[in-house]
Amino acid sequence: MIRDWRGSVGRWANDRAWQLTACVIAMAAIASPQYTWTLFTGPLTRGLGVQLSNVQVAFTLFILAQSWLMPVLGYVMDRIGARVVVAVGGLLVGVSWVGCGLVDSLWGLYLFCSIGGVGVAGVYGACMGLALKWFPDRRGLATGLVVGAYGSGAALTVVPIRRLIQGAGYPTAFIAGGLLLGVVLLVVAWPMMAPYPGWRPPEGNRGRGGEPRRVQQAARSATPGQMIRSGTFHLLYFVAILVTFGGLMISAQLKPIAVAHGIDMVPILPGVDALSFTLMANLIVAALARPFWGWLSDRIGRYSTMAIAFTLGGMAILGLLEFVRAPWGFALFSCLTAFTWGASFVLFSAAIGDTFGSAYAATNNGIHYTSKGVAAIFAGWGAARVVEASGTWVPVFWLGVVCNLVAAAIVLFVLRPMIARVVGQSVERSPARSAG
C-alpha cells in the first residue's frame, strides 16, 4: 500500500500541470508582502513616529533582497531542487511578517523586511525556474500564469488586512498574516520537483493552421557567465529597469497618492471606498494581464508584445496624472498601469529562456530579475524623496511616462533586431525540440 501511494505521488509530481498548479499557489501566497505594503505605510509612519521616506526604505530593502539574491537562490534551486528552497523561503516570509509586527524601531523593521525579501526571492525564483523548465514550448503562457498569481494572491487579503489594521492595529495584521503565509508555503513546497533528465514536452506546439509559433529560441543553453557577457542581456536589463520604475512606483505609493489627492476615503461603490476598490481591482487586473501578455507573446513574438505593452503603459501613467483627483479616473488609470506593467516580468522571463536556454533557467532569470532591485531604489525611497522635496507627484509621474516610451522605442528599434541576429544562427522554431 505504501509503495502504491508513493508511486501515485510520483506520477502526480511528474505531471507538469500539477507542478504549474503548485507554483501558482505558492506565488499567490507570497503576493501580500509586496502588494499590501501600501496599507501599512501610513500606520507605520504614525506608529514609529517617522517620515514616509523612512518607512519606504524598508520597502526598498525588501525589493533589493528579493531581487538581488534571486540569482544565488536560483543557482541553489538548479542544484538541490525547488522543494527545499520554497520551504525555507516560506519560513523566512512568515518570520518576516511576524517580526514586523513585533518591532518598535526602524532598524528592526528594516531587518525583518530584508528577511522577507530573501524568502520571497527563494519562492519566486524556484517557481519561475520550474515554469521555464516544464514549459519550454509555452514559456509565455506558463510564466504569465505564475507571475499573474503573484499579483492576484493579494486580492484575497487586501480587505481582511485593511480591516485588521483599522480594528486591531498593524502589528496584529502582520503577525496573523505571517503565520498564515508560512503554513501555506510549507505545505505547497512538498510536491515540487524539476523534470527528470532527458524529459521533453509533448509534440504539437503549433499555431493556428499548423504554422510554427513566432517565438525564436536558441538551440543551446548559455551559462550564467556567458549570458552576463552578452550585450543582449545588458540591453534587456536596462529596458527592465525603465519599465519597472513606473509600475513599481504606482504599486508601492498607491495609498500615499490617493491620500495626497483626497480620494482615498471617497465612496466609489456602496460600502467600498476608492482606495480599497482600486487596490483589489489592480490586483485582479494584473493577474489577468500577465497570462494574456504571455499568451500574446507566444503568438506575435516577445518584442512586438513588449513594444505594445510599454507604450500603453506610458499612456496609462499619463492618464493617471491627468485624472488622479477623480475617484473613477484614479481607479481606471491605475488599473491600466497595472495591466501593462504586469507584462514586463512575464515577457522578460520568457525572453531570457528563449535567448539563453532552459538548462540554467532559474539562475539566468534570477540574474535578470535583479533589475527590479535597481528600479526599486528610485520607485520607493527615491520617489518619496522627490515628492517631499517638490510637494507634488507630477515630476514622478512624468518620469514614469518617459521611461515607458523610451523602453518601447529601444525594444522595437534596437532589441528586436539584435535578438534576431544573436539567435539567428541557432533558431529552433519548434520549441518542443529546444533544450529542456
Does an H or E element contain 288, and which?
helix 274-300
Contact 323, 332 (CB under 8 A): yes
How many folded domains does the chain comprise? 1
The answer to the question of residue 208 being in a domain is no
Collapsing DSSP to helix, strand or coil, 436 comes out as coil
The answer to the question of residue 201 being in a domain is no
CA distance 119 to 283: 21
User: Cell triple for residue 412?
Assistant: 522595437
Nearest in space to 192 (alpha carbons), one of 133, 252, 114: 133
Contact 128, 362 (CB under 8 A): yes
What are the beta bridge partners of residue 218?
427
Through-space distance between the first and last CA atoms of the chain, rounded to whole angstroms = 34
The answer to the question of residue 3 being in a domain is no
Read off the amino acid at residue 294. Answer: G
CATH code, 263: 1.20.1250.20
CA distance 23 to 79: 18
The answer to the question of residue 380 being in a domain is yes
> pLDDT per residue over 163-185, tens digit each?
888 888 888 898 888 899 889 99
Residue 333 structural domain: 8-194+214-433
What are the beta bridge partners of residue 427?
218
Collapsing DSSP to helix, strand or coil, 157 comes out as coil
The answer to the question of residue 204 being in a domain is no
The answer to the question of residue 348 being in a domain is yes
Q: What is the pLDDT along the chain (436 residues), one digit of tens a residue?
A: 434 434 444 454 567 888 888 889 999 888 888 878 878 888 888 888 888 878 888 888 898 888 778 788 777 877 777 888 999 999 999 999 999 988 888 899 999 999 999 999 889 888 888 887 888 778 778 878 887 787 677 777 777 888 888 888 888 898 888 899 889 999 988 888 878 777 777 665 444 444 434 555 666 778 888 899 988 899 999 999 999 888 878 877 788 888 888 888 888 887 788 888 888 788 788 778 888 888 888 888 889 999 999 999 999 999 999 998 899 999 999 999 988 987 887 888 888 878 887 777 778 888 888 887 788 777 766 777 888 788 888 888 898 999 999 999 999 999 888 877 766 544 444 343 333 3
> pLDDT per residue over 235-275, tens digit each?
999 999 999 888 878 877 788 888 888 888 888 887 788 88
The answer to the question of residue 175 being in a domain is yes
